[in-house]
Amino acid sequence: MKKVLEVAGFIALAQGVLGFVQDFTHWRVGMVQRLAFLHGYEVFASFVLIVLGCALFAAAEGRGR
């Protein structure tokens, strides 16, 4: 279960960072900018993904003990 949480955390963190990179550099990377229902909320969604990724890493650390 720890590995699943770590992988999910990494994916969420990576997508959040890529969302910020896309917003500031206008590169076409990440999934946040490709989801139509997030149009106009890309920065907020990227921030939420980064927080979610950190929370998943913390949960994985707690499960590892």
- Of 43, 47, 10, residue with least CA distance to 24: 43
Tell me how far apart the alpha carbons of residues 60 and 56 are, in angstroms, rounded to a whole number: 6
pTM of the predicted protein model: 0.88
Per the model's pLDDT, the better-predicted residue between 10 and 29 turns out to be: 10
Question: Alpha-carbon torsion 48, 51, 53, 56, what sign?
Answer: negative
Residues found in the chain: 65
Q: Name the pLDDT band for 30 (thresholds 50, 70, 90).
A: confident
Q: Mean pLDDT, to the nearest integer, of 37-48?
A: 92
Q: Kindly report, residue by residue over 18-29, the tens digit of the pLDDT.
A: 999 988 888 888
Above 70 in pLDDT, residue 64? Answer: no
CB 23 within 8 A of CB 43: yes
